[in-house]
Amino acid sequence: MTLPAVFKGYPSSDGIIRRLPVKLSKKVTLADWALTLFETDSAFIESEANELIGQYILAFDLIRRILTY
């Protein structure tokens, strides 16, 4: 999965984003990108969502919370 260009410098050497952007607008953009990780019309339990997002973003819990709003 390719990150938006605005996040080019965020992933560490292992490809995981370990620090989130400071600006809320960038956090929302990252959360919107995380939505693309999920299959359309599929249901996920919280632990599955955490695992999927956590493959790319260390602070998966914050991203998941942004997605619930």
- Residue 43 maps to a domain: yes
- Residue 36 maps to a domain: yes
Q: Check residue 65 and give its pLDDT.
A: 87
Q: Which domain holds residue 45?
A: 6-67
Whether residue 29 contacts residue 6, with contact meaning beta carbons closer than 8 Å, is answered with yes
Q: Check residue 12 and give its pLDDT.
A: 92
- Residue 48 maps to a domain: yes
Q: In 10 A of CB 22, how many CB atoms?
A: 7
Alpha helices in 1-69 (DSSP H): 24-35, 46-54, 60-67
Q: Which residues contact 8 (CB under 8 A, 6 or more apart)?
A: none
- Residue 26 maps to a domain: yes
Q: Check residue 40 and give its pLDDT.
A: 87
- Residue 44 maps to a domain: yes
pLDDT tens by residue, 55-64: 999 999 899 8
- Residue 1 maps to a domain: no
Q: How far is CA 46 from the centre of its chain?
A: 14
Q: What's the total number of domains in the chain?
A: 1
pLDDT tens by residue, 23-66: 999 999 999 999 999 988 889 898 999 999 999 999 998 998 88
- Residue 58 maps to a domain: yes
Whether residue 7 contacts residue 17, with contact meaning beta carbons closer than 8 Å, is answered with yes
